[in-house]
Chains A and B, each alone.
Chain A
């Protein structure tokens, strides 16, 4: 994955660039709006991380608007210290695809970047999803593992569907809250973990291979790989 980071804070930049490189990605970096605009417009990136308040005449949202106007569809994650709901809405309206508030955990950032960069590829109208021998039918809302049928509550099905759509990617608790329950706040308890462990009991019987993994300090990942 080739990532452009437009961010003026040196420490944040070092932290993110290093983290991305360790995760096997290529990261370019601009520390002001002008350079960021130039790089974003001239190089092909899989995903762009954009700070909102930047030195120079041009701020993050203006860059996003300009890029979108010129037909650039690269997924953009807005990284900002402005956390108000209104600011978030403003950011997404300007053409950003996701909004992450500072301070953030690197795992959260990486998971969201993964989700963003793959969103463009897998957005066809699928009627069923499969991970290993786990299979769900999106039309009849039925799930099965091998020949074993799995009975799921509507909410559990929604949770599993999201995990399967992001199979092989780390999915954070916040992402699950936002996308499965549409809760844009932190319920401050481990309710998501409880939901996950309940789901895990249903999709992984003792004899079956584990599919749903807990990723330390980040979230969960559904994968058939060893």
Chain B
């Protein structure tokens, strides 16, 4: 019960009951007022009529006639039905059912609602006081206490209504709690389990799409995404452990050897410079990893602006052109007009640059690299960097998404093995994929990017974790469709990918 008192169901029920009672009182108050006023009017009217009839008798039959009439009526009526009193000019009673003139009634004619004492009982009475010719006083009145049961019944009725409302509220509160908040409790329990570190739990969902179900589905999607990111972090830590330890170990042994052998200063400085190169290499890997993490967590989506991917690619070609010329490689831009997308120009430039850089590394003198940007139907664009180098052997396909993966062919070339991973991440954050195909001979890297706004990118990032966002799907069927296409695309791409190492 204590738990119930603290629950939001109780707050809800209490609120509704309080509201209901307030509404009931607001409704009853004018009703009571109208009832009371009407009743009072009717009573005064009756007394007035009575008083006039008696005055008429007085006019026709005089004091004695009226006295006799009043005495007769008092004798006939049921006790308390009417207060009748005829008094002389000194207010001394002549006839009627009051022993004395009530002190609270003033000697002038008029209508009064006054407290009086009737046969020892304190009560209220309504009077019509008429001063008759010859300074006789006629008092016609009625004891208000006779109406009390009527008023009491009204209030009983109102109280009963309030009681029924309160009970209904409490029962309703219990029912809301049973129906809805029990499910909230189960969500609470699941989340607690996850907080304790058991990521296998997911919220129970039922068929149908009420609000709680939609919420549960959305939260499950979020949990999938978080779990995937956690795995990503674990992968990165493993990769860091593997690939950063090597240069660090080299650096350590270099420095330790230096301090042990104490060679002459010339050699020492040469070693120190080598050590700085080692450190720079560690920093390079570190920066690449940070950048990847930054892209993968989707933070860069805030930097999305309208950008012409063709311009970005052309600028990248211009940038790498002297390096290509130096190696005797033809680097050509082949585009078909502008390719407007919503994206991050810095990331796109880096991704295209990485692809060109990669191609330059594996193409020998006399070779050719072509960079193409096309607009595809279904509002996508494709950035292709094709070379005629050795390509990637099929056996290295499955290692496509591995960070730090460097193919056998790349041993001895500079690079840390994160370049294509970065390209794939950039494509993903732009709602697309990186496909590596065969150029017969050589490698053909296709970056297919959604031309849609950032929303599309968000959908695809979520979709890659296998999530179906029911809420988003309901809100935007077009986005949901896009999400499914992107999900299908990334699956098939993963099977077709051929990858080789890059810097």
Contact = CB atoms under 8 A, between A and B. Distances in A.
Interface of A: 83-86, 103, 155, 181, 183-191, 194-195, 198
Contact of A191 (B279, B300, B322): B322
Nearest to B346: A184
A188 B299 CA distance: 23
Given A84-B299, A191-B320, A194-B326, 19 more contacts: A83-B287, A84-B294, A85-B294, A85-B303, A103-B283, A155-B318, A183-B346, A183-B353, A185-B346, A185-B353, A186-B284, A187-B353, A188-B415, A189-B357, A189-B503, A190-B323, A191-B322, A191-B323, A198-B322
Contacts of A184: 346
Contacts, number: 55
B357 A187 contact: yes
Given A83-B290, A85-B294, A189 B303 contact: no
26 contacts: A83-B287, A83-B290, A85-B303, A86-B299, A103-B283, A183-B353, A184-B346, A185-B346, A185-B349, A185-B353, A186-B284, A186-B287, A187-B353, A187-B357, A188-B414, A188-B415, A188-B503, A189-B357, A189-B414, A189-B503, A191-B322, A191-B323, A194-B323, A194-B326, A195-B322, A198-B322
A110 to B, nearest CB: 16
A185 to B, nearest CB: 5
A79 to B, nearest CB: 15
A183 B349 CA distance: 8
A186 B503 CA distance: 11
A167 to B, nearest CB: 23
Interface residues on B, range: 20 to 34
A194 B303 CA distance: 31
Contacts of B303: 85
Main secondary structure of the interface of A (DSSP, over half): loop
Contact of B346 (A85, A187, A194): A85
Interface in B269-284: 279, 283-284
A198 B346 CA distance: 25
Interface of B: 279, 283-284, 287, 290-291, 294, 299-300, 302-303, 315, 318-320, 322-323, 326, 346, 349-350, 353, 357, 360, 414-415, 419, 503
A103 B323 CA distance: 28
Contacts of B291: 185
- Which of B294, B299, B322, B503 has the largest count of A CB atoms less than 10 A from its CB? B322
A191 B315 CA distance: 13
Given A85-B303, A186-B284, A188-B284, A181 B319 contact: yes
A185 B284 CA distance: 11
A85 B300 contact: yes
Nearest to B294: A84
Contacts of A185: 291, 346, 349-350, 353
A187 B291 CA distance: 13
A86 B302 contact: yes
A103 B279 CA distance: 10
B300 A181 contact: no
A83 B290 CA distance: 8
A198 B290 CA distance: 33
Nearest to A154: B318
Contacts of B283: 103
Nearest to B349: A183
A155 B319 CA distance: 8
B420 to A, nearest CB: 13
A201 to B, nearest CB: 11
A191 B319 contact: yes
A155 B323 CA distance: 14
Nearest to A184: B346
B46 to A, nearest CB: 85
Contacts of A198: 322
A183 B354 CA distance: 13
A188 B360 CA distance: 13
A194 B414 CA distance: 17
Contacts of A189: 323, 357, 360, 414, 503
- List the 8 closest A-B pairs by CB distance, nearest first: A194-B322, A185-B350, A194-B323, A191-B323, A198-B322, A188-B503, A187-B353, A195-B322
Nearest to B347: A185
Contacts of A85: 294, 300, 303, 346
A188 B354 CA distance: 9
Contacts of A190: 323
A194 B349 CA distance: 19
A219 B436 CA distance: 36
Nearest to A83: B290
A198 B353 CA distance: 20
A83 B279 CA distance: 17
A181 B323 CA distance: 15
A194 B353 CA distance: 15
A188 B294 CA distance: 18
Nearest to B273: A217
Nearest to A188: B503
Contacts of B349: 183, 185
Nearest to A181: B319
A187 B353 CA distance: 7
A151 to B, nearest CB: 15
Nearest to A86: B299
Contact of A181 (B284, B299, B315): B315
Contact of B357 (A155, A181, A183, A188): A188
Contacts of B503: 188-189
Contacts of A186: 284, 287
Nearest to B279: A103
